[in-house]
Chains A and B, each alone.
Chain A
Amino acid sequence: MVNNQGLQKILIIGAGHNDIGREGQHDAAVIQIGAAIHKLGIAVVLVDNNAYSVAAENNFADRVYVEPLTVAGLSRVIEAEQPDGLIPSLGGLHAVSLIQGLIRTNVLKNNHVRLLQWDSEIIDMIVNPALMSNRLKAIGEPVIASQVVASDVEALAVVRSIGFPVIVKSVAPRIEASRQLCKDQEDLARALAMGFKVSATKQCIVEQSIVGCKELEFVGVRDKKDMALLISGMENFDPVGIHSADSIVFAPTQTITDQEYQQFRAATLKIMRRLRINGSCHVQFALDPNTQHYYVIKVTPYFDRAMALAARATGYPLARVVANLMADISLAELKLPSDYRKQTALIEPVLDHIVCRIPVWPFNVLKKVSHQLDTVTESTGSVIGIGRSTEEALLKGLRSTDESRYHVIANRPQNYSEGELIQRLIHPQAGRMLVLLEALNRGYQIDELAELTKIDAFYFYKLQHIIEIEKALWARPFDVHALGRAKYFGFTDEDAADAWHTDVKKVHQFALENEIHATFKEVEPTAGEFTEQTNTYYSTYEFDNESQPQAGRPVVVIGTGANRIGTNHGNDYLVSQLLFYLRKADYQPILINANPNSVAMTPRLATKRYVEPKQYSDILNILAIEKPELIFTTYHDYRLGQQLSADGYSVVQINNNLPREQIKTNDSPAVEVISDGMDVAVFGVSEIIAGNNLRTNVRGSLQVFPIRDKAENQAIKALSAEIKRRVLAFGVPGLYTVRLTIVDDQLQLATIEPMSIATMALISKAVGSSVTRLLLHVKLGEPLSKVMYDYPDISALNTVYVQANTFPYNQLQIYDADEVTGEPSHATGTVIAHGETLKAALTALGSGNEDTDF
Chain B
Amino acid sequence: MADRYLILEDGSAYLGEGFGSPAVSTGEIVFNTSMTGYQEIITNQIYHNQIIAFTQPTIGSYGINHDSYESILPTVKGVVVRDVASISTNRQRRWSLDQYLKQQNIPGISHIDTRHLAKQLRASGPMKASIVDVADAHAFDQLGATVLTNRQVAAVATPKPFPNPGTGLNVVVVDFGLKHGILRELSKRACNVTVLPYTATTDEIINLDPDGVILSTGPGKPQDLPESVLTMIQAIQKRVPLFAIGLGHELFAMANGATIIKLAPEHHGANHPIREVITNQIIYASQGQGFAVNPDSVDRDKMITTFVDLIDGTIQGLRLRDFPAFSVQFFPDGAPGPTETRDIFNEFVESMQQARGPMW
Contacts and interface: CB of A to CB of B under 8 A. Distances in A.
A262 B56 contact: no
Nearest to B57: A388
Given A258-B36, A265-B338, A352-B55, A543 B116 contact: yes
B310 A346 contact: yes
Contacts of A742: none
6 contacts: A233-B35, A255-B61, A262-B339, A351-B57, A388-B82, A528-B122
Contacts of B119: 528, 544
* Chain A to chain B: the 4 pairs with minimum beta-carbon distance, closest first: A258-B37, A258-B336, A544-B116, A346-B273
Contact of B35 (A350, A457, A542): A350
B68 to A, nearest CB: 6
B58 A354 contact: yes
Contact of A347 (B57, B273, B281, B337): B273
Interface in B323-343: 334-340
A589 interface: no
A545 B39 CA distance: 30
A779 B40 CA distance: 59
B9 interface: no
Interface string B6-18: 0000000010000
B33 A529 contact: yes
Interface of A: 225-227, 229, 233, 252-259, 261-262, 265-266, 269, 290, 331-332, 343, 346-354, 388-390, 446-447, 450, 457-458, 461-462, 465, 488, 521, 526-530, 542-544
A679 B38 CA distance: 67
Contacts of B122: 528-530
B56 A346 contact: no
Given A350-B35, A390-B58, 8 more contacts: A257-B68, A262-B336, A349-B271, A350-B55, A352-B57, A388-B82, A527-B55, A527-B115
A446 B88 contact: yes
Contact of B272 (A254, A347, A458, A488): A347
A262 B338 contact: yes
B67 interface: yes
A530 B272 CA distance: 11
Give the most central of A254, A350, A461: most B CB within 10 Å.
Answer: A350
Contacts of B336: 258, 261-262
Contacts of A354: 57-58
Contact of A542 (B86, B113, B118): B113
A346 B282 contact: yes
Nearest to B41: A258
B85 interface: yes
Given A257-B36, A259-B68, A347-B271, A528 B55 contact: yes
Contacts of B281: 225-227
Give the most central of B35, B270, B337: most A CB within 10 Å.
Answer: B35
Contacts of A352: 33, 55-57, 82, 114-115, 118
Interface of B: 14, 31, 33-37, 39-40, 55-58, 61-62, 65, 67-68, 82-83, 85-88, 90, 92, 111, 113-116, 118-119, 122, 265, 269-273, 281-282, 284, 310-311, 334-340
Nearest to B281: A227
A697 to B, nearest CB: 51
Contacts of A346: 273, 282, 310
Contact of A529 (B58, B85, B265): B265
Contacts of B114: 352
A458 B115 contact: no
A529 B62 contact: no
Contacts of A526: 33, 271
Nearest to B284: A348
B116 A542 contact: yes
Contacts of B40: 258
Contacts of A258: 34, 36-37, 39-40, 68, 334-337
A542 B111 CA distance: 9
Contacts of B340: 266, 269
B34 A461 contact: no
B113 A543 contact: yes
A348 B270 contact: yes
B65 to A, nearest CB: 6
A703 to B, nearest CB: 49
Given A262-B337, A347-B311, A257 B86 contact: no
A254 B88 contact: no
Contacts of A351: 35, 56-57
A218 to B, nearest CB: 12
B158 to A, nearest CB: 25
A350 B36 contact: no
Contacts of A530: 122, 311
Contact of A527 (B58, B62, B86, B118): B118
Nearest to B12: A543
A521 B270 contact: no
B273 A389 contact: no
B88 to A, nearest CB: 4
Contacts of B82: 352, 388-389
A252 B14 contact: no
Nearest to A488: B111
A317 to B, nearest CB: 15
A507 to B, nearest CB: 22
B228 to A, nearest CB: 36
B337 A529 contact: no
A261 B272 contact: no
A243 B122 CA distance: 41
Contact of B271 (A262, A350, A389): A350
A262 B334 contact: yes
B35 A343 contact: no
B33 A261 contact: no
Contacts of B282: 227, 229, 331-332, 346
Contacts of B65: 257
Contacts of B90: 447
A457 B87 contact: yes
B55 to A, nearest CB: 4
A543 B61 contact: no
Nearest to B283: A227
A49 B284 CA distance: 42
Contact of B85 (A446, A450, A458): A458
A485 to B, nearest CB: 10
B242 to A, nearest CB: 27
Contact of A450 (B88, B272, B284): B88
B273 A350 contact: no
A446 B85 CA distance: 14
Give the most central of B55, B58, B67, B118: most A CB within 10 Å.
Answer: B58
A332 B339 CA distance: 21
A775 B346 CA distance: 66
Contacts of B31: 528-529
A450 to B, nearest CB: 7
A462 B61 CA distance: 10
A492 B273 CA distance: 40
Contacts of B56: 252, 350-352, 527
Contacts of A259: 67-68
Contacts of A347: 271-273, 311
Give the most central of A266, A354, A529: most B CB within 10 Å.
Answer: A529
A450 B87 CA distance: 12
B83 A388 contact: yes
A388 B113 CA distance: 9
A465 B113 CA distance: 20
Nearest to A529: B33
Contacts of A252: 35-36, 56
A27 to B, nearest CB: 30
A529 B85 CA distance: 24
Contacts of A457: 87-88
B122 to A, nearest CB: 6
A657 B55 CA distance: 44
Given A332-B282, A346-B273, A529-B122, A261 B35 contact: yes
A19 B249 CA distance: 56
A542 B115 CA distance: 10
